Amino acid sequence: MKTTKLATILLAAIGLSAVTAPVFAYEAGDWLVRGRVITVAPNDDSGRLYTDALSPGAYTSIGEGVKVDNDTVPELDITYMITRNWGVELILGFSEHNVAVHKGAEITARGLGMNGSSQVIESKVLPPTLLLQYHFRPDGDVRPYLGAGINYTYFFDEKVPSSSLVAAQGDDIKLDSSWGLAVQAGVDVALNQDWFVNFDVKYIDIDTEAHFDGTAAARLKINTDIDPFVWGVGIGRRF
């Protein structure tokens, strides 16, 4: 009798725990929505500044060293789980960056009579990115993942800052859009059955060319491989 009662109690406890225990597993059809704070850190070591001031119609390099500054902004991303392990993520957000020439290019430019600040461009950047992800431990409290996909970067609201080295406010400027690959590594750490903390890093291939027309230094262009690392931390929820 005592054995029967003990077995009944144990079975009831197991049943209760099965009902009340958090379920951390990702399932096919789940939506994961994350809000992150990200730092976009360009890896821009290959920019060059060109002008046709020396020979109209023929561009000449006036130095290497275009520098793009960092920016820290909010980001929203949405992942749809195709299976328990595979998901597709769309990343949305925009950042704002200043482009400046390094000292070597600045000295060369000043030798051509271009005076002013080494900052040459201000631009907003919209880089929607689509990634295919593999989640290694969909039922664990700690769920690492890797992703790879494609990025499209659109530059908008381009401006020439006041006292620019190579142009003046109001000069015509346009940055070419960019297509490139993107890779990603991250981890979700469960807080309960739906909420989790997220840590993420991405590398995005972004190349652009800036075109200036009507400047005092004739036509100018800048080739820039931005190629940023994007570091992020945030919180997410499963739906």
The verdict on residue 3 lying in a domain is no
Say which CATH number the domain at 99 has: 2.40.160.20
Q: Is 105 in a helix, a strand, or coil?
A: helix
Domain that holds residue 43: 27-238
pLDDT tens figures, 196-209: 999 999 999 988 87
pLDDT tens figures, 106-157: 445 444 444 444 666 778 889 999 999 999 999 889 999 999 999 999 988 8
**CA gap 86, 96 in Å, rounded:** 32
Which tokens belong to 66? Answer: 């275009």
Q: Is 148 in a helix, a strand, or coil?
A: strand
Residue 14, pLDDT above cutoff 50 = no
pLDDT of residue 15: 45
Residue with tokens 């039922």: 139
Give the count of domains, the chain: 1
The verdict on residue 121 lying in a domain is yes
The verdict on residue 14 lying in a domain is no
Which tokens belong to 59? Answer: 């561009």
The verdict on residue 13 lying in a domain is no
pLDDT tens figures, 67-79: 788 889 999 999 9
The model's pTM is 0.74
Element (H, E) at 173: strand 172-175
Say what percent of the chain tops pLDDT 70.
63
The verdict on residue 7 lying in a domain is no
User: Parallel, antiparallel, or unpaired for β 142-159 and 178-190?
Assistant: antiparallel
